[in-house]
Amino acid sequence: MFMSSSTDWQVDVLEFAQKCIYCGYCSLCPTYKELKWETYHPRGILEQIKLYFTEGTKEEVKLDTSKSLFEAIFACTMCKMCENICLADIPLLKIWEQIRQESFKKGRWNPSMLSLYNKVKDTYNIYGLPSEDRLTWAKMSGLVMTRRTKKKAPLAYFIGCQAAYSGKMGQVAPSVVKILRKTKTNFTILGTDEWCCGSPVFLAGGYSVGKSFAKHNLDELKKLGVKRLVTACSGCYRTFKIVYPRVLGDSWDIEVLHISELANELIKAGKLKLKHKFKEKITFKDPCELVRHCELIEAPRDVINSIPNVRFEELPSNRNEALCCGGGGLLKLNDSELVGKVNSKLISEIEYSEADIVANGCPTCLDTIMTGVKNKGLDVEVIDIAELILRAMGDK
């Protein structure tokens, strides 16, 4: 069985940095656009990598460079716009992750990141809350999950920390569960044995802890004979789709679906019927982790367009060009003001679209968009796509 080590997943950052042709296309980086110094420009970060990693660089210079390099790397939302537009095909995201790891190794994380890291490590969730509370969302919504918890089934619903613990996301998990129940889909959940997918740990550069999370989740899923995994969280989705295969190798053989993909499949099979008509105009904000990281573009649109007589309008920047909400890459922990600035561009697009409902497939986006919409005083409802699907099924 192939299992990767941390070195297997590493790339030669210096070699790639030297491949930059300096066209500057990566200036579309949403945080560089706000911060404006070229030290935050992805091209500028590559220049700093050259300074930092070139053999023979004086320690003093290295130290100087590391200050601005690490600062820049944690100002990144990992939205992947830079990598998608890069003319030299440089795997920028891998590089950014590696620089975060380097900063961890050098003990240069900021205290709030370190605190998150420790919370996840100790309590297996990002909030530092007890594992026993993982099913509070079910209790709050009056759902009894005992018959579904840790039962053998081909499909598992992975709830994710935000949907499980955060009051703001309270409707996400109940919506997914109701969709699955109404479509008579056989599924299981890991209950209190679900651990954070590890996304924030990997994003922070903590490779070995992240790997132990991946192994735990895989073992638990295997015990239940799970072949397919559905999630409504784009961060979990990306981690399962991209990070787990890298970390676990061939042993990770579980098919991963976003709720929009599963819903689409159920619609096509005639098991899910969207019959409720919406008067409201609907738009969809592509989460970066779905669209640019995992190329999941059409499924949410197909689902929305299956709603009878739907008034669906794309945001001006959509699909691969979708704007970042500002909340990714753990930026919230590093610079919440910057999150707001990045987010305001997206909110302007939402306002321009004149949509009444913004559907989304990511708890982080949901949270930042809700805040942005509230701050701007817009009369827009922000909901997860699972909730939209459930409403379209006729559930009040």
Partner 1 sequence: MTLKKKARSRFVRFLGKQLREDRTTLQIYSRDMADLPSLVSIFFQNIPDGVILASSVKDIQTIYSVANETKTPITQRAAGTAGLGGSITYKKGLVIDTKGFEQHYLVNPLDQTVVVSPSYVFSDLQRKLKLEGFSLCSYPSSYHSATIGGWIAHGGHGIGSAQYGGVLEQIVEIEVVLPTGHLVKYTERDHISLFVGSHGTLGTITEVTLRVKFDIPLKHQGCTFDSPKELIQGLEEIVRIFPYSVWFLNPEHVALFNETFGYNLPIRYVAIISKEVNFEEEELEFSRLFNNAVRNAGGQILDRRYTEDIWQFRFKSFSMLKQCKDFVVSEVILPIEASDKYIRKLVSKFKGNIHLEGEVISPTHYALMMYLLYDEKLSSLKKTLLNLKLFNLTIGSKKVKGTPYSTGLWFSGYYGKIYGKDELRRYKEFKKSVDPKNISNPGKVLSPKLRFLPIVSLKFAVRLASRLIL
The residues binding partner 1 (CB under 8 A) are 19, 21-25, 27-28, 36-39, 44, 47-48, 51, 61, 64-65, 67-69, 85, 87-89, 316-317, 352
Query: Cβ contacts of residue 178 below 8 Å, gap of 6+?
Result: 143, 390, 395
Give the C-alpha distances (Å, rounded to integers) separating 388 from 176, 229, 271, 308. Answer: 10, 21, 17, 13
Minimal distance, residue 107 CB to partner 1, in Å: 20
DSSP 189: B
Of the two residues 28 and 143, which places its CB atom closer to partner 1 in the complex?
Answer: 28
> Which residue in this structure is represented by tokens 């790339």?
11
Nearer to partner 1, 106 or 227 (CB): 106
Burial of 5 (0-12, 13-18, 19+ CB in 10 A): exposed
CB-nearer residue toward partner 1: 47 or 384: 47
Q: Indicate the SS3 state at residue 334.
A: helix
Distance in Å, CB of 380 to partner 1, minimum: 19
Q: Which residues of 294-333 are buried (b: 16+ CB within 10 A; e: fewer)?
A: bebbebbbebbebbeebebeebeebeeebbbbbbbbbbbb
Nearer to partner 1, 8 or 354 (CB): 354
Residue at 107: amino acid letter: G
Choose between 110 and 317: whose C-beta lies nearer to partner 1. Answer: 317
Shortest CB 314 distance to partner 1, Å: 12
* Minimum distance of partner 1 from residue 364's CB (angstroms): 24
Q: Region of 204 please: left (phi>0), alpha (psi -120 to 50) or beta.
A: alpha
Angle between helices 111-123 and 207-223 (to 10 degrees): 30
Q: How far is the CB of 48 from partner 1 (least distance, A)?
A: 6
Residue 157: strand pairing partners: 230
CB of 346 to partner 1, least distance (A): 14
Q: Whole-angstrom Cα distance, residue 216 to residue 381?
A: 37
- Decide whether 63 or 144 has the Cβ nearer to partner 1: 63
* Pick 178 or 285: Cβ nearer partner 1: 285
Decide whether 63 or 140 has the Cβ nearer to partner 1: 63
DSSP single-letter state for residue 227: -
Report, in Å, the least distance between residue 312 CB and partner 1.
Answer: 18
**In whole angstroms, how close is the CB of 97 to partner 1 at the nearest point?**
21
